[in-house]
Amino acid sequence: MSDSLSKLEKRTAYTLVLPAVLLVFAIVLFPIFANVWISFKDIELKDIRIPEPRAKKIVKSISENQSELKIIYKLRNSSLIQEIKNVQFQDRFPKNISPINLDPRCNFQSRKVICDFGNWQAKYRENFEITIQNNNGEIIDKKIIKSQKPILSGKADNPLLTTNFTLENFKKVFYQNNFVELLLTTFYFTFFGTIGAIIFGILAAQLVNQNIQGRTYMRGILLFPYVGPVVALAYTWTLLLDPNSGTLNALLVNFNIIDQPINLLGQKYITMSVLGFEFKLRLALTTVIFFEIWRYFPLAFLFILARLQAIPQILYEAAEVDGASPIQKFVHITLPQITAIISILFMIRFIWNFNKFEDIFLLTGGASGTRTLPISVYQQGFAVSDIGMGSAVSIVIVMLLLSFMVIYFRLIGKRANEV
Amino acid sequence: MKFKSLAIYLIISSFFLTCILSIWKIMATLQGLSFTNLNVTTVFLNGILLSLAFVLVGNKINHLIKIFSLSFIFSILYFYLNEASPYWYIFGVFLITLFFTNKLKKYSVQSLKEDFISEKIIFDFITLFGIVFFAFVILFPFYIMLVTSFKTQIALLVNPLDFSLNFTKNLTELFKSYFVIFETYNFGRYILISSAVSIGTVIVTLLFAIPAAYAVARLNFFGKNFLSTSILIIYMFPAIVLVIPLYTVFSQLGLRNSIFGLLIVYTATTLPVAIYMLQGYFKSIPKEIEDAGIMDGQNWFGIILKIIIPLSLPAITSVALYVFMIAWNEFLFSLMFLDSPKSFTLSRAIQYLSGDAETPRQYLMAGSVIVTLPILFIFIYFEKYLVSGLTAGSVKE
């Protein structure tokens, strides 16, 4: 290919790719890096607005004489942590009206009061007063005065862009709020959710792969939990599991399977005794894991089914001739054929369960021992409104994710070499 | 050997029968029948008798006559041993037993002597059990969602097990929750917003993704390999780590509470998967067809518009439906970015409703039905396309 043609091809390619790449950069990649920045800053939800000078105007009569009025401006710095530099103030007045005893910071010219207030510290407040009079001695209309809004301007740094950094957020993440329990909960949830979804996926795929009537319908139905909106499904489950009037508890009590309703989503532990051994089960966490399995086993099912249908039938026929039992067929033919897809599924589901937010948030809000890392991002960032700390938790998530990916690709790489 | 397989056959088949009859009883209880005992043991023993009778009778009489008479006897026994129950319930029991005995067809004294018969029996009945189990476990919550939306909070608090619907009431009474959420809670508006955001996301995503996917599939340029591998890695990163920076930046730019802001975020998060899916399909289109287009003097725009798009409509449909599904179901970003009821999407509106503990549950469920039905209809109607979308795009959810 000639040089000019390949240049043209490159230019075309960049024009085609660039819009998509830029958008993904701005909305996906940039925030991941921005997290690093924010996580080193002591910043709260209320600080994210750029500080601005504000004024509230109050107009008062001062005497019987309606030709004089007092105006009070309640001035303040909207930020509690940042200074505003070089604040300028300006207000307009109607014809024939002029101020008396004007503040030395201000001057009056061409019907405007212009003041230079200098720098305002964080939390700065002042009641600034101007007395005005009508030069003709006529009555001043309060409404007209009131309707004119003062204009303020000032220079303030964007609190996100200042360069004071702190390690406080990470210290808080690791030493406060029981970080070890947070990690353990996340891992329980992720691991058992993943394993459960895969096991049920294998079972369901094995079922649908047989020659049964209506298997296409069955495949459709099995995917319902996955395609349904999480909000609707989570609230349905909450109703179903409700201890007071939920269907499940009512049924169990009705058929004398349990004596008392169990608060499946609101109780942290339940003591179980199996063969004389008593142990404590994380009840709410287990329930949430079951919801997770219910919602995501369809995905595992879909993949494994696709793989199962690709296994040549002749393998099974040969095994039949050799007199293999159904279990032997499953162990020696089916299982080896699906291990590859299962390991991929394991990674995908592991990563996605690790990141899962909506399901837990809607079912328990992270209460009763179901607080995982993503829930913690939300709680720190928005419930406690500590944006910096929420970002620090996000960074922990990203670091863990990256290490999972590295480990996984190492393992898969090794396996590929062995084969 | 023969005794062992017979025992396994009896236990497993009877266990299966007990399971279906228990599910039938639970469903009947939810129709307001006051059963208080599942009678598992009795049903199980009767089931063993039934299965035993089935193999003992063998081929002596016609199969149809055999299953009808056995089921009839079983149902009569069931009627006397069970709590007082209406005839429609017993008729259901009869039909279930008929189905069950029909499934026993291939077992006889003879066949129980075959090799591996016990494993085969276990496999057969686990399959049947599995189908009933999965269908029940999956559909039950959807059933509860639908039926609750037609009931009232008070009725459900009085008897949480009575989900029977009274169709003799007039329709306005039955659909009251739906009228209320449309009239008082403005759900019509939310449906419009959700549809606009979802359809908008589909259109914008396709506009960005088709050219990009074409370039990745067909053209040579520096950084192409890097781009296609980073696509995979990018969509492994979760929404939750994007939320805080996007929230802060959107707050400063005034993009929160705006449908436009939501649309940008949805587009950006679905773009990688859309490009990934499309480029795979574009690669499978023979290059010769394009060469013919180039001969005709088409530029890349013409090639994409006149050759690539018409040829890859199935893949584009898959991507479009998949993106629509993601945008329609999305919750996290709408929770973060939308505070004002003026700009709520359906998901966010339902979550907002539930925030008020006073909201009766039938309204919540009516809202849930409204957000679920369209996506289920689309799924059922376009199952083929959506399944291929799900399979290809599974890395993202």
- Scanning B305-334 for CB atoms below 8 A from A yields 325, 328-329, 331-332
Nearest to residue A347, comparing CAs of B233, B271, B227?
B233
More confident residue, B103 or B212: B212
Q: What is the mean pLDDT of chain A?
A: 85
| Residue A214: count of CB within 10 angstroms of its CB | 11
Residues with Cβ within 8 Å of A169's Cβ and at least 6 positions away in sequence, in order, are A39, A40, A41, A42, A386, A388, A389, A391, A392
Q: Answer yes or no: do B221 and A302 touch at CB < 8 A.
A: no
Q: How far is CA B120 from CA A325, B5, B106, B117, B125, in A?
A: 8, 10, 11, 5, 9
Inform me whether the C-beta atom of residue A390 falls under 8 Å from chain B C-beta atoms.
yes
Q: Answer yes or no: do A16 and B245 touch at CB < 8 A.
A: no
Strand partners, A98: A133
pLDDT of the residue at A414 = 59
Give the pLDDT band of residue B394 (cuts 50, 70, 90).
low
Give the pLDDT band of residue A288 (cuts 50, 70, 90).
very high
Per-residue pLDDT of B267-277, as tens digits, reads 998 998 899 88
Nearest to residue A363, comparing CAs of A265, A249, A229?
A265
Read off the pLDDT of each residue in A48-63 and give the average, rounded to a whole number: 81
Every domain of chain B and the residues it spans: 2-148, 179-393
Per residue, the 3-state secondary structure of chain A, as one string, reads: CCHHHHHHHHHHHHHHHHHHHHHHHHHHHHHHHHHHHHHCCCCCHHHCCCCCEEEEEEEEECCCCCCEEEEEEEEEECCCCCCEEEEEEEEECCCCEEEECCCCCEEEECCEEEEEEEEECCCCEEEEEEEEEECCCCCCCHHHHHHCCCEEEEECCCCCCCCCCCCHHHHHHHHCCCHHHHHHHHHHHHHHHHHHHHHHHHHHHHHHCCCCCCHHHHHHHHHHHHHCCHHHHHHHHHHHHCCCCCHHHHHHHHCCCCCCCCCCCCCCEEEEEECCEEEEEEHHHHHHHHHHHHHHHHHHHHHHHHHHHHCCHHHHHHHHHCCCCHHHHHHHHHHHHHHHHHHHHHHHHHHHHHCCCHHHHHHCCCCCCCCCHHHHHHHHHHHCCCHHHHHHHHHHHHHHHHHHHHHHHHHHHHHHHHC
CB contact at 8 A, A91 and A112:
yes
From B244's Cα to the closest Cα of chain A, the distance in A is 7
- What's the CATH number of domain B179-393, 3.20.20.140, 1.10.3720.10, 1.10.1740.10, 2.40.37.10? 1.10.3720.10
Nearest 10 degrees: CA dihedral of A319, A320, A324, A327? 90
pLDDT of the residue at B351 = 93
Name the residue facing B376 among A227, A352, A362 (closest C-beta). Answer: A227
Architecture of domain A53-155: Sandwich (2.60)
Q: Answer yes or no: do B134 and A207 touch at CB < 8 A.
A: yes
Buried b (16+ CB within 10 A) or exposed e, B203-221: ebbbebbbbbbbbbbbbeb
Q: Answer yes or no: do A326 and B123 touch at CB < 8 A.
A: yes
| Residue A28: count of CB within 10 angstroms of its CB | 21
Q: How far is CA A320 from CA A313, A317, B121, in A?
A: 11, 5, 16
Q: Which tokens go with A163?
A: 């360069």
Mutate to test the interface with A, among B23, B194, B235, B248 (most CBs of A within 10 A): B248
CA–CA distance, A233 with A236 (Å, rounded to integer): 5
Per-residue pLDDT of A242-277, as tens digits, reads 888 888 988 888 888 888 888 888 888 888 777 777
Task: Give DSSP secondary structure letters for B336-356.
Answer: HH--SGGG--HHHHHHHHHHS
Give the pLDDT band of residue B314 (cuts 50, 70, 90).
confident
Q: Is B20 helix (H, G, I), strand (E, B) or coil?
A: helix
From B201's Cα to the closest Cα of chain A, the distance in A is 13
Let me know how many helices (H) and strands (E) chain B has, helices first.
20, 0
- What's the CATH number of domain A170-418, 3.40.190.10, 3.40.920.10, 1.10.3720.10, 2.130.10.10? 1.10.3720.10
What residues of A are in contact with residue B331 (Cβ under 8 Å)?
A: 229-231, 358, 362
Per-residue pLDDT of B339-379, as tens digits, reads 888 889 999 999 999 888 788 888 999 999 999 999 999 99
Inform me whether the C-beta atom of residue B236 falls under 8 Å from chain A C-beta atoms.
yes
Give the pLDDT band of residue B393 (cuts 50, 70, 90).
low
B361-381 vs A215-227: helix crossing angle, rounded to 10: 130
Q: Which tokens go with B311?
A: 């040829």
Per-residue pLDDT of B10-43, as tens digits, reads 999 999 999 999 999 999 888 888 888 888 888 8
Every domain of chain A and the residues it spans: 53-155, 170-418
pLDDT of the residue at A1 = 47
CA–CA distance, A403 with A398 (Å, rounded to integer): 9
B2-29 vs B117-148: helix crossing angle, rounded to 10: 0
The reply to whether A53-155 and A170-418 are identical in fold is no
